[in-house]
């Protein structure tokens, strides 16, 4: 039984937050939703867990007790200790005390939170707070684990611990979906959905998305002039230029596109399309 959404559309007044978005979240796998701020990631995840009713589309999710959700804004009570936060979660989901204690102990130990047992969540660093939030969300062995930008802004060590938790949840059979703005994280997942302005930009496994880039990518030391400059972007100290069709000879060393290139190209293509349409209409 795969969880997910199909044809999801959400509008807030005359602003369309999501349009025609579909996503499958199979159990035992990690799925990511990638996009910048305002792309619609949070809206999509909120629809998935039932915190928001869509204007159109269908959702497949387990019952509330079988869902684990970590929102991007607040996963823990800052004025409760680590232990109290977990107690509250355990009691709310009707877990037995011993079962929770053992399970929580393993997670806390593995993520370096054991010493912080009696510290106020508000006094923890960002990374530790997020780890606590994820532990809280998966304490009750949910079938669907939804994490909204759990790794944004936290340090790499915490991020690595967090990914251990994610892997553990998936190993326990949960369908895990997480939102992120970082492509190197998306690369770790088995399925990626890239969103831009509420619409799907690219989807597939990281490899298939990268392989599906039409045309070529060339790397040069300087920004190319003319038409091509509109299709260039900087990465590191060099420039990458996308040439959409095969027959226009590309300049510079050609590279195999990676996920980063693929998403950038898709966003560029959409932007150019919007401009072309706007120009014609004007």
Partner 1 sequence: MTAVWAMIVKEFRQLRRDRRTLAMLIFMPILMLVVFGYAASFDVKEIPVRVLGPAADRVAAVLPAPFEVEGVDPSGGREDAVTALTDGEVPVIFLTAKGGLRVLVDGSQIFIATGTRAAVSSITERAPGGVAVEVEVLFNPDLETSAIMVPGLAAMILLFVGTIITSLGVVRERQAGTLEQLAVMPLRPADVFLGKIAPYFVVAALDMVVVIVAGIWLFDVPFRGSVLALALGAVLFLFVTLGLGVLISSVSENQGQAIQLALMMLLPQVMLSGLIFPLSSMPAGVRWIGYLLPLTYFVEIARGVMIRGASIVTLWPSYVFLAIFGAVVFGLATLRFRRSLAPAGRRRHGAERELEAVGS
Partner 2 sequence: MTPLAEATDVTRRFGHLLAVVRAGLRVDPGEVVGLLGANGAGKTTLIRILLGLLPPSDGAVQLFGVSPSRETRRRIGYVPQGLGLYDDLTPRENLAFAGAVFGGEPGTLPPSIASMADVPVGRLSLGVQRRVAFAQALAHRPDLLVLDEPTSGVDPLARARLWETVRQAADAGAGALVTTHHMEEAEECDRLVVMADGRVVAEGTVADIVGDTRVAVVRTGEWERAFEALEAHGMTAALVGRTLRVPGVDPQAVSRALGDVRAEVSEARATLEERFLQLTVGERAGAAA
User: What residues make contact with partner 2 under the rule CB under 8 A?
Assistant: 28, 30, 34-39, 125-128, 149, 152-160, 163-164, 166-168, 170-171, 181-184, 187-190, 196, 205-206, 233-237, 260, 263-264, 267-268, 271
Report DSSP state, residue 75.
S
The site string for partner 1 over 210-239 (x = CB under 8 A, - otherwise) reads ------------------------------
Decide which of partner 1, partner 2, none touches 167; Cβ closer than 5 to 8 Å per partner kind: partner 2
Q: Are 145 and 61 in contact (CB under 8 A)?
A: no
3 state SS of 48: helix
Q: Which of 150, 145, 146, 155 is nearest to 132 (CA)?
A: 150
Decide which of partner 2, partner 1, none touches 160; Cβ closer than 5 to 8 Å per partner kind: partner 2
The structure tokens listed for 185 are: 């994280």
Query: Which residue, 115 or 246, has its beta carbon nearer to partner 1?
Result: 115
Dump strand ranges (E) for 1-53: 3-12, 15-25, 30-34
Q: Which of 205, 204, 237 is nearest to 219 (CA)?
A: 237
Task: Name 251's Cβ contacts closer than 8 Å, sequence gap at least 6.
Answer: 218, 220, 224, 228, 241
Residue 99 interacts with partner 1 (CB under 8 A): yes or no: no
Segment interacting with partner 1, rule: CB under 8 A, options 86-94, 101-109, 132-140, 143-151? 86-94
Residue ranges in 111-140 that form contacts with partner 1 under rule CB under 8 A: 120, 122-123, 125-127
Residue 160 interacts with partner 1 (CB under 8 A): yes or no: no
Segment interacting with partner 1, rule: CB under 8 A, options 14-22, 78-86, 102-110, 169-177? 78-86
3 state SS of 138: helix
Out of 24, 57, 59, 77, which residue is the one contacting partner 1 (CB under 8 A)? 77
Residue 79 interacts with partner 1 (CB under 8 A): yes or no: yes
Q: Are 193 and 33 in contact (CB under 8 A)?
A: yes
């Amino acid at each position: 039984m795969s969880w997910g959404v199909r044809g999801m559309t959400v509008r807030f007044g005359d602003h369309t937050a999501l349009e025609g978005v579909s996503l499958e979240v199979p159990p035992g796998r990690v799925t990511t939703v990638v996009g910048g701020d305002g792309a619609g990631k949070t809206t999509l995840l909120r629809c998935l867990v039932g915190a928001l009713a869509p204007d159109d589309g269908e959702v497949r999710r387990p019952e509330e007790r079988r869902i684990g959700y970590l929102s991007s804004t607040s996963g823990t009570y800052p004025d409760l200790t680590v232990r109290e936060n977990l107690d509250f979660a355990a009691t709310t989901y009707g877990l037995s005390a011993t079962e929770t204690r053992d399970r929580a102990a393993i997670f806390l130990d593995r993520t370096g939170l054991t010493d912080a047992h009696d510290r106020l969540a508000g006094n923890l660093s960002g990374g530790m707070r997020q780890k606590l939030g994820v532990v809280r969300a998966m304490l009750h062995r949910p079938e669907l684990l939804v994490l909204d930008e759990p790794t944004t802004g936290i340090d790499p060590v915490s991020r690595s611990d967090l990914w251990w938790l994610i892997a553990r949840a998936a190993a326990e059979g949960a369908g895990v979906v997480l939102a992120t703005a970082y492509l190197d994280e998306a690369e770790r997942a088995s399925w990626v959905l890239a969103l831009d302005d509420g619409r799907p930009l690219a989807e597939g496994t990281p490899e298939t998305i990268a392989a599906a880039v039409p045309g070529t990518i060339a790397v040069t030391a300087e920004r190319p002039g003319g038409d091509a400059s509109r299709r260039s972007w900087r990465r590191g100290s060099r420039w990458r230029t996308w040439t959409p069709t095969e027959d226009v000879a590309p300049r510079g060393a050609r590279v195999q596109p990676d996920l980063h290139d693929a998403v950038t190209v898709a966003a560029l293509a959409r932007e150019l399309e919007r401009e072309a349409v706007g120009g014609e209409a004007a």
